[in-house]
């Protein structure tokens, strides 16, 4: 009957443990209830539970009742000992039940010197509390200090069974406990986050307001009053001032001042070095002081000549800096002992001061930019007038250069025509004289067959001379007429490029005459351009004249080659090459610049290559590339459309 009663008590206890695991939320209260129930089925005067924390390697005793060793702090965490030093540690680490007698304890103490930290029991039973993964949650221990109270094998088996149920219950309780802690921590974090977010939104709004102020053309008083209102929304700022630093005079001015004790600032402007504003600017750090620390600064001579009412309860000053450049100081202070500023408010004031400094710097920069813009607009207007005049002068010089080129062509052709015409005049005069003598012989009846034959020979020879020279003059005149008209008219017409190049070179014959420079033309006979012949003649003329002036010395022999071809895309490639002196890279880079010449004062205008470039890229709608090196001559590579009518 006693055995049945005990089994019923055990069954009742297990049911109670199951009910407690669902109704109880506190681990200590749960273990205490288990202890009371355990006492009904076996001796349990000394009972405790140890819970392990695998993350930090510690153990705590949420419930500890012992007749000899008293109680323990349930929240105290103790570093887990080694299995050789503690029976509780042995159970936790080996995850096995441990049963010891007093003799076992003493034997362990003799062999290792230490075995546990409490009193030596008469009988000790400890079972591991294992989770579903067979990992140790902790250990449950029951012990006796009396030889009359020991635990039988049945007691030990029941205790192990109870330990198993306690393990299951503890897993749920620990999960609930962890969840409650997590919920509590998350709730606190959310509350803090909400508070911080609200504060951040206020700060963000303040920053938007400051940025908006910097974009407005406000005077100093309006700006300062607006800043006071903005900062007053973030903290108590009943006493507020803004000080501005003037680096040109090394002074500090007070454009804005609101104080409960003083209606006006003691000084509107004072030398840098006085008062707390100078101290803050010198330190380049935000300062937080109370009355005691403020008086200590004055006593130590760190702050000289303090200005205004010094009976402060709390004082903050933040420098307005942009890249360590000082713009001024913002000061907030309190005379009320109930209003004491904190480090968080100091950091906020410093943060706002840095943004105010940026706003002030921006406003100052905007004023300078507006002033500079006005000056720049005036200078631009003057420069535009000068540029317009320069462009007009340049256009006139270019036009004069073209006319001068045409004039030189006229002079050269006139000089060249003079020779054949002079020969014709001489031949005509000689023929007239011979005709007169022949008539006299005929009238005198002295005409002989020999004298008549001689007269005929003179006539024949004179006519041949006259025919040759008049044809030569006619060719020069025809070439000059066409080239001159083309250069002056600027109209589009169709022309054979090969024939036209030869006409241009014929018109340049006076310049080539007497120079040992040979000019070759390699051009398809059927290449017809529908373009501006005047531009082509001017380009070829300028290239040849540049070679004669810059590429070859007066008596230096040389070769000039002009090659033309048509590409598949309907573009003409014109390559001009001479084997003259060439030029270095610096000169080559400036070749097409207007008025640049290496023959200044000796006939070079500096417009020949410039006009060439403008005609190729403008009138002909093409491109020009030039290559040269000292001693390697010069090459122009031109590309332009075969027909200008298609591109217009």
CATH 3.30.565.10 boundaries in the chain: 490-641
CB distance 242 to 328 below 8 Å = yes
Backbone angles phi, psi at 75, to 5 degrees: -100, -5
Whether the CB-CB separation of 576 and 562 falls below 8 Å is answered with yes
Lowest mean pLDDT among 22-26, 68-72, 116-120, 127-131: 22-26
- Give pLDDT, residue 487: 52
Own/partner pairs, 33-41, CB within 8 angstroms, 24+ separation: 34/162, 34/166, 35/63, 35/65, 37/12, 37/13, 38/13, 38/142, 38/159, 38/162, 40/9, 40/13, 41/6, 41/9, 41/10, 41/13, 41/158
What are the Cα distances from residue 10, in Å, to 13, 60, 292? Answer: 5, 28, 71
629 secondary structure, DSSP code = -
How many angstroms separate the CA atoms of 560 and 510, rounded?
16
pLDDT at 609: 83
- Comma-separated ranges of CATH 1.10.287 domains in the chain: 372-483
- How many beta carbons lie within 10 A of that of residue 135, not counting itself? 12
| Per-residue pLDDT band at 288 (split at 50, 70, 90) | very high
Rounded average pLDDT over 174-192: 73
Residue 646 pLDDT grade (very low, low, confident, very high; cuts 50, 70, 90): low
Quick one: what percent of the chain has pLDDT higher than 90?
33
How do strand 634-641 and strand 58-65 relate by DSSP bridges?
unpaired
Residue 208, pLDDT above cutoff 80: no
Of 62 and 370, the one with more pLDDT: 62
Give SS3 for 309.
Answer: coil
Q: What is the mean pLDDT of residues 143-147?
A: 94
Residue among 354, 299, 293 at smallest CA distance from 321: 354
Q: Is residue 562's pLDDT more than 90?
A: yes
Beta pairing class for 269-271 and 287-289:
unpaired
**pLDDT number for residue 433:** 84
Looking at residue 477, its pLDDT comes to 66
Q: Give whichever of 307-311, 334-338, 428-432, 587-591 has the largest mean pLDDT.
A: 334-338
Q: Residue 206: is its pLDDT beyond 80?
A: no
pLDDT for 189 equals 80
Decide if pLDDT at 213 tops 80.
no
Single pTM value for the model: 0.37
Please name the residue that has the structure tokens 């454009």.
255
- Do 280 and 304 contact (CB within 8 A), yes or no? no
Nearest to 576 by CA among 544, 598, 553: 544
Question: Is residue 325 classed exposed, middle or buried when 0-12, 13-18 and 19+ CB atoms within 10 A define those classes?
Answer: exposed
| CATH architecture under which domain 372-483 falls | Orthogonal Bundle (1.10)
In the predicted model, what is the mean pLDDT of the chain? 84
Whether 483 has a pLDDT exceeding 60, the answer reads: no
Higher pLDDT, 65 or 189: 65
- The predicted model gives 516-533 an average pLDDT of 92
Q: Which two tokens stand for residue 411?
A: 């002079």
pLDDT of residue 599: 67
Residue 420 is predicted with a pLDDT of 73
Lowest mean pLDDT among 174-183, 395-404, 620-629: 395-404
- For 387-404, b/e burial (b = at least 16 CB within 10 A) is eeeeeeeeeebbeebbee
Residue 430 predicted with pLDDT over 80: no
Residue 565: predicted pLDDT: 94
Question: Bigger pLDDT: 471 or 616?
Answer: 616
Model confidence at 30, pLDDT cuts 50, 70, 90, reads confident
How many Å apart are CA 196 and CA 91, to the nearest integer? 48
CA-to-CA distance for 33 and 28, rounded, in angstroms? 9
Where is 263: in which H helix or E strand?
Answer: none
**pLDDT over 70 (residue 216):** no
* Residue 172 pLDDT > 70: yes
581-620 tens-digit pLDDT: 999 988 888 888 876 777 655 545 567 788 888 889 988 8
Listed in order, the ranges of the chain carrying CATH 3.30.450.40 are 3-180, 217-341
State the pLDDT at residue 524: 94
Q: Which CATH number fits domain 490-641: 3.30.565.10, 3.40.50.970, 3.20.20.70, 3.40.47.10?
A: 3.30.565.10
Q: Which residues, including other chains, have CB under 8 Å from residue 351's CB and lie 6 or more apart?
A: 203
Q: From CA 142, how far away is CA 154, in angstroms rounded?
A: 14
Is the pLDDT at 569 greater than 90? The verdict is no
Report pLDDT for 554.
84
Mean pLDDT of 174-183: 67
Q: What is the pLDDT of residues 49-108, one digit of tens each?
A: 999 988 888 999 999 999 999 888 998 999 999 898 999 999 999 999 999 999 999 988
Three-state SS at 52:
strand
Q: Tokens representing 251?
A: 């002074």
Which among 25-29, 290-294, 410-414 has the top mean pLDDT?
Answer: 290-294
For the segment 187-216, the average pLDDT, to the nearest whole number, is 74
Which position has the higher pLDDT, 397 or 225?
Answer: 225
Per CATH, is 3-180 categorized as 3.40.190.10? no
Give Cβ neighbours of residue 167 (< 8 Å, ≥ 6 apart): 129, 130, 131, 137
Check pLDDT > 70 for residue 406.
Answer: no
pLDDT of residue 556: 92
Give the pLDDT score at 289.
93
The CATH code belonging to domain 217-341 is: 3.30.450.40
C-beta of residue 50 within 8 angstroms of C-beta of residue 139: yes
What tokens were used for 252? 């500090």
The band of 366, judged by pLDDT with boundaries at 50, 70 and 90, is confident
Q: Which residue has the tokens 């006619």?
A: 474
Would strands 58-65 and 46-53 be described as parallel, antiparallel, or unpaired? antiparallel
């Amino acid at each position: 009957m006693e055995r049945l009663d005990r089994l019923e008590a055990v069954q009742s206890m297990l049911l109670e443990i199951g009910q407690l695991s669902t109704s109880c939320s506190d681990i200590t209260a749960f273990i205490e209830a288990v202890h009371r129930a355990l006492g009904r089925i076996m001796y349990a005067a000394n009972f405790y539970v140890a819970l392990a924390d695998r993350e930090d390697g510690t153990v705590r005793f949420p419930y500890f009742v012992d007749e000899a060793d008293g109680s323990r702090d349930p929240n105290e965490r103790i570093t887990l000992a080694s299995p050789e030093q503690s029976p509780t540690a042995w159970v936790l680490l080996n995850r096995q039940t441990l049963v010891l007698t007093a003799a076992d304890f003493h034997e362990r103490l003799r062999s290792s010197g230490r075995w546990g930290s409490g009193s030596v029991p008469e009988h000790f039973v400890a079972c591991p509390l294992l989770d579903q993964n067979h990992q140790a949650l902790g250990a449950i221990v029951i012990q006796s200090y009396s030889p009359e109270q020991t635990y039988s094998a049945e007691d030990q088996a029941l205790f192990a069974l109870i330990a198993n149920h306690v393990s299951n219950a503890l897993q749920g309780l620990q999960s609930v406990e962890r969840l409650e802690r997590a919920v509590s921590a998350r709730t606190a974090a959310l509350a803090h986050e909400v508070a911080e977010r609200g504060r951040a939104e206020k700060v963000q709004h303040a920053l938007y307001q400051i940025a908006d102020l910097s974009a407005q053309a406000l005077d100093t008083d309006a700006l300062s009053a607006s800043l006071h209102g903005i900062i007053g929304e973030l903290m108590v700022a009943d006493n507020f001032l803004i000080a501005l630093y003037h680096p040109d005079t090394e002074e500090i001015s007070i454009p804005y001042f609101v104080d409960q004790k003083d209606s006006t600032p003691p000084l509107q402007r004072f030398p840098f070095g006085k008062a707390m504003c100078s101290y803050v600017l010198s330190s380049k750090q935000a300062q937080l002081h109370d009355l005691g620390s403020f008086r200590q600064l004055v006593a130590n001579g760190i702050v000289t000549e303090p200005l205004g009412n010094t009976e402060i309860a709390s004082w903050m000053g933040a420098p307005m800096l942009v890249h360590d450049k000082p713009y001024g100081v913002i000061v907030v202070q309190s005379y009320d002992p109930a209003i004491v500023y904190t480090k968080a408010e100091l950091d906020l004031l410093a943060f706002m001061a840095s943004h105010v400094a940026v706003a002030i710097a921006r406003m100052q920069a905007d004023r300078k930019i507006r002033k500079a813009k006005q000056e720049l607009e005036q200078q631009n207007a003057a420069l535009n007038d000068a540029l317009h005049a320069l462009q007009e002068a340049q256009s006139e010089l270019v036009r004069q250069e073209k006319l001068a080129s045409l004039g030189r062509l006229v002079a050269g052709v006139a000089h060249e025509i003079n020779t054949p015409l002079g020969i014709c005049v001489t031949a005509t005069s000689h023929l007239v004289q011979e005709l007169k003598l022949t008539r006299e012989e005929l009238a005198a009846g002295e005409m002989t067959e020999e004298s008549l034959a001689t007269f005929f020979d003179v006539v024949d020879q004179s006519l041949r001379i006259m025919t040759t020279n008049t044809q030569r003059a006619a060719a020069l005149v025809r070439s000059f007429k066409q080239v001159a008209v083309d250069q002056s008219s600027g109209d589009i017409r169709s022309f054979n490029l090969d024939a036209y190049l030869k006409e241009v070179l014929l018109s340049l014959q006076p310049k080539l005459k007497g120079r040992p420079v040979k000019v070759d033309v390699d051009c398809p006979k059927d290449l017809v351009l529908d373009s501006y012949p005047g531009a082509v003649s001017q380009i070829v003329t300028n290239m040849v004249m540049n070679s004669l002036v810059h590429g070859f010395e007066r008596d230096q022999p040389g070769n000039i080659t002009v090659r033309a071809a048509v590409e598949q895309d309907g573009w003409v490639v014109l390559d001009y090459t001479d084997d003259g002196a060439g030029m270095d890279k610096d000169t080559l880079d400036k070749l097409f610049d207007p008025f640049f010449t290496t023959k200044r004062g000796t006939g070079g205008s500096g417009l020949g290559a410039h006009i060439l470039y403008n005609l190729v890229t403008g009138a002909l709608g093409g491109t020009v590339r030039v290559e040269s090196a000292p001693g390697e001559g010069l090459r122009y590579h031109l590309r332009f459309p075969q027909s200008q009518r298609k591109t217009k």
